[in-house]
Chain A
Amino acid sequence: MRNLPGMSAAPPASATSVAARAEKATKTYGSGSTEVVALRDVDAEFPTGRFTAIMGPSGSGKSTLMHCVAGLDTLTSGKVLVGDIDLTTLSDKELTQLRRDRIGFVFQAFNLIPTLNAIENITLPIDLAGRKPDQAWVDEVVATVGLGDRLTHRPSELSGGQQQRVAVARALASRPDIVFADEPTGNLDSSTSGEILTFMRKAVDELGQTIVMVTHDPNAASYAHHVLFLEDGRIVDEMDDPTADRVLDRMKRFGDH
């Protein structure tokens, strides 16, 4: 697969500027006649300090790509690197530690442990590691999220938007190398979605975080610095500084070829 224009235009590859990268990533499910190929030789880079969106129609492999890069799933062949670490060489235990210490997650729904309150959920990965939280950083994240007096409430006492903000704060609290968000606004109304996405962009621009977001919503993608388009397990296009309209136009062309 040839290097796409956007990729080659990126600054010369160096370990410090790329938070995570996939090389010739291939993922197949099943075998023989029932074989389904989810990813075909995908090369992708997620630069540090950038907000990248992955877009594509359902079944395009966008979630699989994210799961594999985030260490939740394993590749059939190829390589995934987070920082300098090759995920394909790690054991389950090491992958768990990597997710705990270097990766943040925001899912579409059911992001929070119902028995823990908001602040306990936010510090969960740090507590799991048995470390002391970087209090100044946690305070800063919490202040940015703006939960105020609701920090000791349980998830069931929070609105959908508040729950997702807690989830984002949790993803950021351990100051991870990279945050993966899987349709983080899929269950929210448009104004709440806007709040969350603005907050995520702010985390990248102001706090220097790296975020990769899977979405099928052109509006959500417009908050990113950069968009990767996937179809049939391949990266078919990418776009810098997207707007909702341009993304929508690009999306309309899927299935044409």
Chain B
Amino acid sequence: MRRVTLRSLWEHKRRLISTVLAIVLGVAFMSGTFVFADTIDKVFDDLFAEVNEGIDVQVQGEELFEGGFGGGSTTRKLLDLSLVDEVAAVDGIERVVPFVQTLGFGSTNRVVGPDGELLGSSSGPPTLIESWITDETLSPYRLFDGAPPAADDEIALNVAAVEDAGLSIGDTVTVISQFGSSEYRLVGSFTFGGAKSSAGSISADFTLAEAQRLGGFGDQVQVLLAAGDGSVEDAVLAGRVQAALPDGYEALTGEEAAAQTASAVQEGFAFFRQILVIFGAIALLVGTFIISNTFSILIAQRTRELALLRAIGASRRQVLTSVLLEAAVIGLFAAVLGLLGGIALAIGVTALLSAIGADLPSAGLVVSSTTISIAFAVGLGVTVLASLLPAVQATRVPPLAALRDVAIDRSGASRIRTVAGVLLLVGAVALLGQAAGGDSDALPAVGLGALLLIVGAIVIGPVLAEPTVRVLGAWLPRLRGITGVLATENAARSPKRTSATASALLIGVALVGFITIFAASAKASIEKQVDTGFTGDFVIQSEASGFGPPSGFPATVADAAADAAGVESVASIGFTQAQITYPDGTQSATIVTAIDPAAMTQAYDVQMAEGQITDLGPDGVIVPLETAEGNDLAVGDTVDVQGNNGTTVELTIAAISDDTTLLRFLAIDLDTLGEIVTEKLLVRSVVTASDGADLAVVQADLDRIVAATPLIEVLDRDGFVGTLTDQITSFLNIIYGLLLLSILIALIGIANTLSLSIHERTRELGLLRAVGMSRSQLRAAVRWEAVIIAVLGTMVGLGVGLIVSWALVTTLGGLGLSTFAVPVRSMATVVVLAAVLGVLASIRPSRRAAKLNVLDAIATE
């Protein structure tokens, strides 16, 4: 029996390749993610171990709270420079160097060349502003050319930055930070270990005093790096330093410090890995449908062979084992190919990163045993699972079928299927209907309803496939004559097959539809709120802050704007990251905004759930409704807020906001902000022009004011809405990119099903050719069949997406999603794209059909 299985596999090896492709892609994506992420982990482990090699002890402030600006994942207490002497006095310590560094993602820190060109990009690796470490053994950098920065107007850059921008020693460069821009003379360049950059970052090094100023550290520093005299082990030395330190500071060995830094970076990547794995899983789910469908078709085509096996004495169990064994061999094959593909993918991504300048120090690819196990478990598991139903089908082939003509399975509408499908859909509607209340408590019900809806649509698919295909194809005969009739009839002839093929596409498209509609609704909600609530004329804020933390600008910009002609008022919003302690003792790190209540009411009509903005005083705080509900807070309760200078203030809740644009976070008074941060920064200033002022003139004035502070821009109302919705758009594009894989696999499924169907219809196609169907007519018939299947899957998918997004948007109505918007044009584009992709999927099968030799076809027994 095993020999029969393997022979039959070998016979159909070409068909197998297209079958496994679906699984190979999914496994490749998954294992590629793991290989890449593991490699990145190792890169950073190696990197930080290498750069910290010369450091024996590192001293840092204790952790204030998780999260922080400038890319660090933890905000720590800063150190006074007086500690340098205290640490240096410890027995066994030879040298101590203070160090500060700010990681500026987005537009926080930028270096501008002499001709005004920006180095690096706002979406790529960050620009680091650091103090040059004067002691070579303690520094990760090696001077390459020139000299280190010795005066406050001198800068040294990493070699890659110098080379890419074509700079030479002696050039003048401009450095932009949140405190404005200053000019520096380039005095030297350096390497990072042996690399020209540290993972693609731009490293801008200054004297300690200048780096402190640019980073907003005041007189303090972040860490002290110390080297011992080698008399004792690092751990002992760290213990001695710890004993000498006042409370609130900690001493680590260089190794510990390296591990801590590496794990902080790796945490960021862990999230990235999770997201990719989720989309990989979706792609594999789609692949499951395709494999299952392929097996069903192959078994239908082998009915006679299976019946013969049964007739000559093979048991049901043997038939089942045979099919599952076939699946296992295919799964194994797919896992191996997928794993290899994944490794290739990881190499490709690394090469791509290197091509865009994010050079990773080579650490060699890391293919861990976990990656290999996952690739095999997923490849094998998914394939065997997918073949389970078809395998059971195979055992039901009666021995007598060997003697009968093989009939195509036209069934689809079994009663059990109909009843189960209807029940699932009714359940889905009942659950999704709970959304109508607009209560976010219905969220779990809506989630379950969405799941039931998709499952229900897939279960009832074969029942509805035939009539739906006929409706979809109704206009085809008029356009394409008999070719159209044949295309429609072929798509309708085996509803199970058509439905399973369309279902694979349905999943991906439903997600696309859902995300598209949800995003459109979010955009519409924002636009509506700005329309009704925003009474200002201009907004000053930093350019394109992307996904990183917002970058700030100094309050002097707002002061200058307030003095400009034709300006009635300026309402500024400051911000910081702070730790909140709620009355029940729970703590969380969050963004805190700071406002001038009186000015705010002039510029913006903030939606309030309770109280007024003007209720906010120096000792007060406004909390968003979401936070209030989540933490059982009421007006009059007190919360503790600790800022990045370590100061904690006790604030009383003055009001509760319900706003999704400007007041999404905790809001305190601007003066209170000054008490808890090292440097007060604004994130946004809303400018209201006086009545009758010429807006164009006012804007020109404002433009002139902000020109001195690069990367800050003046936006009118439309531009402001644009920046609020831009983030949604870029988020949308990322999701589309990730869903592309699932859709690609679904298209492979369509191509695969068509190829198998065409193989099955060899004689029919031969007859058509004999009686005068041209090759191009035949190709057209296959093409339109593919288009019908693709459009079927897409329309049902969009329908599911539409219903689910309606339910979710309605449920979240309380959280600011006030408008349900259906982007008709985007949806139509998706349908047209699906049709085009259907055409693409049909290229290979239709060519095969057209190439058919007429005589061979009609001679087939």
A interface residue numbers (CB < 8 A to B): 67, 72-73, 92-93, 96-97, 99-101, 105, 107, 110-116, 120, 124-125, 127-130, 170
Question: Distance (Å) between the CB of A102 and the closest chain B CB?
Answer: 9
A127 to B489 alpha-carbon distance, docked (Å):
16
A250 to B774 alpha-carbon distance, docked (Å):
41
A127 to B777 alpha-carbon distance, docked (Å):
11
Q: Are A99 and B764 in contact (CB under 8 A)?
A: no
A67 to B482 alpha-carbon distance, docked (Å):
25
Q: Which parts of B726-770 form the interface with A (CB within 8 Å)?
A: 763-764, 767-770
Q: Are B486 and A72 in contact (CB under 8 A)?
A: no
Known: A116-B489, A170-B771. A128 touches B854 (CB 8 A): no
A72 to B768 alpha-carbon distance, docked (Å):
12
Known: A107-B767, A110-B767, A113-B764. A128 touches B773 (CB 8 A): yes
Q: What are 17 A-B pairs at a CB distance below 8 A? A: A67-B855, A72-B858, A96-B774, A99-B770, A100-B773, A101-B772, A105-B770, A110-B764, A110-B767, A113-B486, A113-B768, A115-B489, A124-B482, A124-B768, A127-B481, A128-B481, A130-B481
Inter-chain pairs besides A107-B770, A107-B858, 15 sampled, C-beta below 8 Å: A72-B855, A96-B774, A97-B774, A99-B771, A100-B771, A100-B774, A101-B772, A113-B486, A113-B767, A115-B492, A116-B486, A124-B768, A125-B772, A127-B481, A128-B777
Question: Distance (Å) between the CB of A103 and the closest chain B CB?
Answer: 8
A73 to B492 alpha-carbon distance, docked (Å):
33
Q: Which parts of B774-823 form the interface with A (CB within 8 Å)?
A: 774-775, 777
For residue B75, CB closer than 8 A to chain A, the reply is no
Write out, one digit per residue, whether chain B residues 141-183 have a CB within 8 A of any chain A CB (1) or not (0): 0000000000000000000000000000000000000000000
The answer, among B485, B767, B772, for a CB contact under 8 Å with A129, is: B772
A92 to B768 alpha-carbon distance, docked (Å):
14
Q: Are A128 and B772 in contact (CB under 8 A)?
A: yes
Q: Are B772 and A97 in contact (CB under 8 A)?
A: yes
For residue B490, CB closer than 8 A to chain A, the reply is yes
Closest-by-CB residue of A relative to B764 is A113
Q: Are A105 and B486 in contact (CB under 8 A)?
A: no
Q: Are A105 and B771 in contact (CB under 8 A)?
A: yes
Question: Distance (Å) between the CB of A107 and the closest chain B CB?
Answer: 6
Q: Within 8 Å CB of B408, what residues of A?
A: 114
Q: Are A72 and B854 in contact (CB under 8 A)?
A: yes
Closest-by-CB residue of A relative to B490 is A115
Q: Within 8 Å CB of B855, what residues of A?
A: 67, 72-73
Q: Are B775 and A110 in contact (CB under 8 A)?
A: no
Q: Which parts of B457-488 form the interface with A (CB within 8 Å)?
A: 481-483, 485-486
A230 to B492 alpha-carbon distance, docked (Å):
45
Q: Within 8 Å CB of A114, what residues of B?
A: 408, 493, 764
Closest-by-CB residue of B relative to A113 is B764
Q: Within 8 Å CB of B763, what residues of A?
A: 110
Chain B contributes a number of interface residues (CB within 8 A of A) equal to 25
Q: Within 8 Å CB of B764, what residues of A?
A: 110, 113-114
Q: Are B771 and A116 in contact (CB under 8 A)?
A: no
A73 to B771 alpha-carbon distance, docked (Å):
14
Q: Within 8 Å CB of A96, what residues of B?
A: 769, 772-775
Q: Which parts of B398-428 form the interface with A (CB within 8 Å)?
A: 408
Q: Within 8 Å CB of A170, what residues of B?
A: 771
Q: Are A92 and B771 in contact (CB under 8 A)?
A: no
Closest-by-CB residue of A relative to B492 is A115
A165 to B506 alpha-carbon distance, docked (Å):
44
Question: Distance (Å) between the CB of B36 and the closest chain A CB?
Answer: 48
Q: Are A116 and B485 in contact (CB under 8 A)?
A: yes
A130 to B482 alpha-carbon distance, docked (Å):
8
Q: Are A111 and B486 in contact (CB under 8 A)?
A: no
A116 to B481 alpha-carbon distance, docked (Å):
13
A73 to B859 alpha-carbon distance, docked (Å):
12
Q: Within 8 Å CB of A97, what residues of B?
A: 772, 774
A129 to B481 alpha-carbon distance, docked (Å):
10
Q: Are B771 and A93 in contact (CB under 8 A)?
A: no
Q: Are A99 and B772 in contact (CB under 8 A)?
A: yes
Question: Distance (Å) between the CB of A72 and the closest chain B CB?
Answer: 6
A190 to B502 alpha-carbon distance, docked (Å):
47
Known: A72-B855, A96-B773, A96-B774. A115 touches B493 (CB 8 A): yes
A93 to B771 alpha-carbon distance, docked (Å):
13
Closest-by-CB residue of B relative to A130 is B481
A125 to B490 alpha-carbon distance, docked (Å):
18
Question: Distance (Å) between the CB of A101 and the closest chain B CB?
Answer: 7
Question: Distance (Å) between the CB of B714 and the closest chain A CB?
Answer: 64
Question: Distance (Å) between the CB of A113 and the closest chain B CB?
Answer: 6
Question: Distance (Å) between the CB of B467 and the closest chain A CB?
Answer: 16
A101 to B774 alpha-carbon distance, docked (Å):
12
Q: Within 8 Å CB of A110, what residues of B?
A: 763-764, 767, 858
The answer, among A67, A115, A120, A128, for a CB contact under 8 Å with B771, is: A128
Q: Are A111 and B772 in contact (CB under 8 A)?
A: no
Write out, one digit per residue, whether chain B residues 844-861 have a CB within 8 A of any chain A CB (1) or not (0): 000000000011001000
